[in-house]
Structures are given as structure tokens and as C-alpha cells.
Chains A and B, each alone.
Chain A
Amino acid sequence: MANYYNIDDILAEEEFVPVVFHKAANGVIIDPSSETNSVEQGAKVELPLWLAQELYLRQAISISVPACFSQRTRLEIQADAACVDLKSRSQYFYEFGCKIAPLVGDKTIEILLLSAFKIRYKEILTKAYTAVFTTTSKFLTLLTKEETNLYEAAQASMAAFKKWRMGGPRLQRASVLGRKRKPLD
């Protein structure tokens, strides 16, 4: 409940999950390419997570493992977690996994997330504090939103410290006072 208004949380629930309908539904346009306005029983559709959660509570659908946690991704992560492009799979990889895990009933997702995050965290750490901005631009495209937050937080604090170390006036003139104003005629 505390994350109800959190933008990242809302966007994380926008990700699509494949579901299988148990009951037929009328009057809904879920699949834009179908002719009729209904979904019959046993159809496989992709729904956003917030919708899938509600229908799951009403036992109208069953959720299967989404594509970003497929076997191929798992093999890639096990091979080298630091170079996997998680952003292209899903920008909210970790939050999505946390929400999906109780719905799908797959225990291995959390272990996968944890191990992947540990390895990538080390990479972020080494690059965040020391590297210059331009050299790591390729690495930044691989990070999910959460990891990008981490990285930017570290960079911002380091940059602020360096700026403070350079010195400079303690009191800064407000920009509003900068311009000379012409006297009103």
C-alpha cells in the first residue's frame, strides 16, 4: 500500500504477462486484431500485470511465466550476469520478478534475481565512483531503472563532494537578483 503512488511501482505493473483464460469474457477488446469483442475459454493473451492480478484473484485466468524470465534469460544470467542487457527485456526487471513470484508459484525466480543483482551490484560499484562519465555509457544501457538509480546516486554524491572540495563561495547570489532591472517609466 505504501507504494500505491510510487511511479516506478505503477510502471512496473505495466509489464505484460502471458495468461490463459479459464472463462470466456464478452465485450472486451483485449486482442486488437481479433474480429469479435470477446475472448473464449482457453485463449492465450498478453495482459498487463495489474489486470492479470485482479483476474487471478477472481480465478478467471492462470498466469504463466513471462518471457523475460524464460530459460534463455536464465542461461544468460548464469553465464555472465554483468553483461546481460536487462533493460531490453524489461526496465523493471527486479520489481516485476518480485511481483510475479507469488502469482506464478515459481520459487526459483527470487534466487535468480538475487544472484543476478549481487553480481551486477559489484560492477555498478566499481564503475560508479571512479569512472569518467563518457566511458561507461555502454554499460549504462544494460541497467534497469533500479540499478540506474543506484548508479546516479553514487555519481551525484561523488560529484558534489568534488565540487565542494574545489572551494568556492559559501553564499551564492540568487539568480533572481542577477539581472539589472530597468526603471519603470
Chain B
Amino acid sequence: MAGQSDPHISIFSAEEVEFMAEDELIEIVPNLRMDPLNFICGDFGPFLPQIATQVPFWLAVALKKRGKCAIRPPQWMSVENLTRVLERERESQGAFQVLPFHYVEISRLLFDHARDDIPDMYMVRSLIEDIRDVRIHKVETSLEKFSGTSAVKIPNLSAMEVNIIRPFVGRALQAFYKHDNPEKIPDVDRASSAQTRAANNEPRMDSGIGGLKVAMSLPDDQWYQWFLTVFSSFFALQRPLRR
């Protein structure tokens, strides 16, 4: 019981988020002929020269490093699309534009490995950096506005942005929850109250922190477990220590 609640919220490092981004599918144009590759995650191929195929990103990078393919940049990475997204980001104050979940990591990986495959590379790169700056500022301003609630809803946030604000927002929400309603929690058996409280809160937080929950990449039961361990400690605080 002593080690039940972990005060440190588990965080992903930036490299880990990048690792998870490499599972996305991307189109390549191979220049060799190869039989289908059978992996645990799926079968890819057969590879024929000049025929575009969809492969996961890590496979694309591996083939590119060996000089066996050319990576085709994804649809959303054209200059027109990015300029349009940037304009809309600057106009709308509260909402975020729809961008792929891992756009930061994918763009960085492409710049590192597939520089010659992207037309207007410098333009694209500066546009993406601008978009990212605008979005991060928007996140900060929207975090200022919420105060005193237990759930935050920010749709259309990308994985890297969520990773940046995750420890801060997690701890801040915990602190708000602790100070906000210490009196409303009934002093009953802690396990049952934690269960019912979590069950009541679960649908609300589920829709509330949609982006956060998805970005933490926890399956549903693990999320539930994390929720219980984090918040059960605050129910426990209400009982006097009996020796």
C-alpha cells in the first residue's frame, strides 16, 4: 500500500515519441526488385522498381540509408498545404488545425534522411517550424485560461506537443484537484469510493482529455489503472493516520 501511488507521472522522452512515430506508413519508390518481407507487424512488398509501395517509416529509412529507394513525401507536406495551415493557425485563436498526429517527428526524420526527395525543402522546413511555434504559443495561452477544472480538452494536438506539456499539465491538474474539492469526498471505505469516483469521472475525463489520453498511448485498462493510482492517493489523504 505504501508504494501504490507514484508521485512522478510517467513521461516519454522525445526519442521515444520519435520511435513511436516511425510506425506510420509512408510511400516509397524502390529501385530494386525484392520479395515480400514478412515482419511481425505485417507483410510488405513485393518491391518492384519504380512501383510505389506503402511501408512503415523505419523500414523506409533503413532502405533509404542503403540507397535502395526514394521516399515520397506525404500529401500534407506540400508548400501550398502548409501555407494554408499556417494562415488558419494564425487566424483562429482557440482551435488547432488538423495535422497528422506525428507531423513534427515525421518532418524531422525526413529532413535528416531524405533531404533530396522533398521539393522546396527549406521552404517546407521553415513553414513547419512556424506552424509549430504558433501552436505551442496557442497551447500556452489556452492553458492559462483553464483554471479550477479537473479536465482539459484540447483537440487536434500532436504527439510532440502533448509530450512537452504532459508533466506540467499533469501535475497542475493534480494540484487543482487536490485544492478544489476536499470536502465533497465522503469518508467511506477507500477502495469502493475510489472505484465509484473513478467510474463517475471516467466518461467525463475520457471525453475531456481526449488528446491527452490518446497521446499517452495507454490502452484503456492501463489508463484506468493510472487514473486510480493517481487519484486514490487524494482520497486517502482525508483519513487521519491511525497508529
Interface: A180 (CB within 8 A): no
Say yes or no for A6: interface residue by CB 8 A criterion: yes
Name, among A2, A125, A129, the residue most crowded by chain B CB atoms within 10 Å (CB to CB): A2
Min Cβ gap A68→B in Å is 16
Choice from A118, A122, A146, A157 contacting B165 with Cβ under 8 Å: A157
Q: Is the CB of B164 within 8 A of A157?
A: yes
Contact of B237 (CB < 8 Å), options: A3, A53, A94, A110 = A3
The stretch among B37-45, B172-180, B208-216 that forms the contact with chain A is B172-180
Given that A157-B167, A161-B164 are known contacts, is A118 also in contact with B4, CB under 8 Å in the complex? no
Q: Say if the beta carbon of A133 comes within 8 Å of chain B.
A: no
Residues on A with C-beta less than 8 A from B112 are 167
Do residues A150 and B15 form an inter-chain contact, with CB atoms below 8 A? no
Size of the A side of the interface (Cβ < 8 Å), in residues, is: 42
Instruction: Determine, out of B28-36, B87-95, B139-147, the stretch whose residues face the partner at the interface.
Output: B139-147
Given the interface pairs A98-B179, A125-B140, the reply to whether A53 lies near B232 with Cβ below 8 Å is no
- Does A24 count as interface, using CB distance less than 8 angstroms? no
Q: Whole-angstrom distance from the CB of A69 to the nearest CB of chain B?
A: 14
Contact A2 B1 (CB under 8 A): yes
Give the interface segment out of B6-14, B47-55, B69-77, B218-226.
B6-14
Question: 12 new A-B pairs (CB below 8 Å) besides A146-B175, A160-B13?
Answer: A2-B4, A2-B232, A3-B233, A98-B178, A98-B182, A121-B172, A122-B147, A149-B171, A153-B168, A164-B14, A164-B15, A165-B108
Subset of 18 A-B contacts with CB under 8 Å: A2-B5, A2-B232, A101-B182, A110-B179, A110-B183, A117-B175, A117-B176, A121-B147, A126-B144, A128-B168, A153-B171, A154-B168, A157-B163, A158-B164, A160-B14, A164-B18, A167-B112, A170-B15
